[in-house]
């Protein structure tokens, strides 16, 4: 894992246990900005996702991790920001591709479709995968219009 990166993390009620486990895993090597909830009490995922996305967009954080039931809602919210590229990952192989090919700066994890240990493996894979650049750079530059 790279040192000194700042990672913003947020979740809704479906992902609060995942958030805690991931923060524990990251806290020795990264600065973690915690925007997640700490209970299973229902919240609106866009409220949390916007806080996390604004941290990345403003430069307060380098990368972000968002967790909700399916990860679709938080990914849709994050992808409304012009400078953010969010990808949904439920297996580590997809985490490799969203980083290598899409240079995703927001990792979205579906809590209802992954185990906590699997989510931690996805995060570790994502953080340790470099962007390939080249033809992928050209393509990601065409995403926003």
> Active site residue: 68, 89, 136, 144, which one?
68
pTM for the structure as a whole = 0.94
Question: Cα–Cα distance between 72 and 109 in angstroms, integer?
Answer: 9
Average pLDDT over the chain, rounded to whole?
94
Question: Cα–Cα distance between 134 and 5 in angstroms, integer?
Answer: 24
> Active site residue: 101, 108, 136, 144, which one?
101
Least confident of 52-56, 94-98, 106-110, 132-136: 132-136
Residue 145 lies in a domain: no
User: Coil, strand, or helix at residue 127?
Assistant: helix
Domain of 31, CATH number, reads: 3.40.1400.10
Domain residues for 86?
Answer: 6-140
Q: Where are the beta strands (DSSP E) in the chain?
A: 6-11, 31-34, 63-68, 86-88, 106-110
Residue 23 lies in a domain: yes
User: Coil, strand, or helix at residue 110?
Assistant: strand
DSSP per residue over 48-62, as a string? HHHHHHHHHHTTS-S
If one compares 30 and 132, the residue with the highest pLDDT of the two is 30
Do the Cβ atoms of 100 and 130 come closer than 8 Å? Answer: yes
Residue 79 lies in a domain: yes
Catalytic-residue membership of 108: no
**Number of separate domains in the chain:** 1
**Tens digit of each residue's pLDDT (9 = 90 or more) over 3-40:** 589 999 999 999 999 999 999 999 999 999 999 889 88
Mean pLDDT over 45-54 rounds to 97
Residue 1 lies in a domain: no
Residue 106 lies in a domain: yes
**Tens digit of each residue's pLDDT (9 = 90 or more) over 50-75:** 999 999 999 999 999 999 999 999 99
């Amino acid at each position: 894992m790279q040192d000194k990166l700042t990672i913003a993390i947020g979740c809704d009620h479906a992902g609060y246990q995942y958030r805690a486990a991931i923060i524990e895993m990251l806290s020795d090597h990264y600065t973690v900005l915690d925007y997640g909830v700490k209970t299973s009490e229902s919240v609106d995922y866009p409220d949390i996702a916007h806080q996390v996305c604004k941290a990345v967009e403003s430069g307060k954080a380098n990368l972000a991790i968002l967790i909700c039931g399916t990860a679709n809602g938080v990914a849709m919210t994050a992808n409304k920001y012009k400078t953010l590229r969010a990808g949904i990952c439920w297996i580590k192989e997809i985490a490799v591709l969203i980083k290598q090919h899409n240079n995703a700066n927001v990792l979205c994890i579906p809590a209802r479709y992954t185990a906590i240990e699997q989510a931690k493996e996805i995060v570790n894979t994502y953080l340790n995968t470099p962007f390939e650049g080249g033809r992928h750079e050209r393509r990601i530059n065409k995403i926003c219009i």
